[in-house]
Structure 1
């Protein structure tokens, strides 16, 4: 073996071959077949077989390629909660969605949707809008770390120093 030649075991491994593209297929009872791209990130296959032809347009309109992302659960207070106790609520649950047959062209390509809490959503975010939101949340987290937490610690120290320790004490 030539000492200047690189050993095959020293070469970096070849990248894996790309996976074949996934497809969904809808076939009607009359034999009509419609097929489309099924994204690798989509968690459900909308394929159907033996569909009555009159249901085809509704079936296509309902195609939603989606992937869910968990949010963060916090104990939240609500005046609607009859026992007055906090209820665990998931905030900032997200998804990537694409509706290839939607009437609105903007949702025919993948968009991000974020469920803030309750009935509040941020919808149809493009990558730039999602990046702006991420930067805003980082700014908020930094403010909590560098402003709010130290101010809260100072406020509690001041309170325990200057406030009587017995509940309801009067001076």
Structure 2
């Protein structure tokens, strides 16, 4: 995997406007498969994105009640089929177009191989996530489960929206 798209520069991890059918801004995570042939690499080609919480001194700190939404988990036949896994212990609620809970054993993925949702206006590709226990980081693993590629670019993108958490007093 590489950040960005096959045909353009790296515009991954950039802030964007409204996503996931809400009025929340999002963080774009965009990536593309880099194998030279249009094979099906599945989880072998994946991006891992770490959200780490640190204090002013740069040292890790824990936060509680971490919550966010992964939006635009969708698919287009012959192009991409989003799969998202999250580290740690959390609860999640999947929207109508998503199956799985977001764990390694039950990844969140588009419910079918050809269901594209509108990035900004549709909430059908959303996974709402909540970490109740204190955590200092979350790793989001993102990969492409397309069964075959039709020759179009293999770029894929999701968004993180509405991230909230509470600071733990002893971290201050």
User: 1 or 2 for the larger relative contact order (CA 8 Å, sep ≥6)?
Assistant: 2
TM bucket normalised to smaller: under 0.3
TM-score w.r.t. the length of structure 1 is: 0.20
Structure of higher CA gyration radius: 1
Kindly indicate which of the two structures has a greater share of residues assigned to strand: 2
TM-score w.r.t. the length of structure 2 is: 0.20
Kindly indicate which of the two structures has a greater share of residues assigned to helix: 1
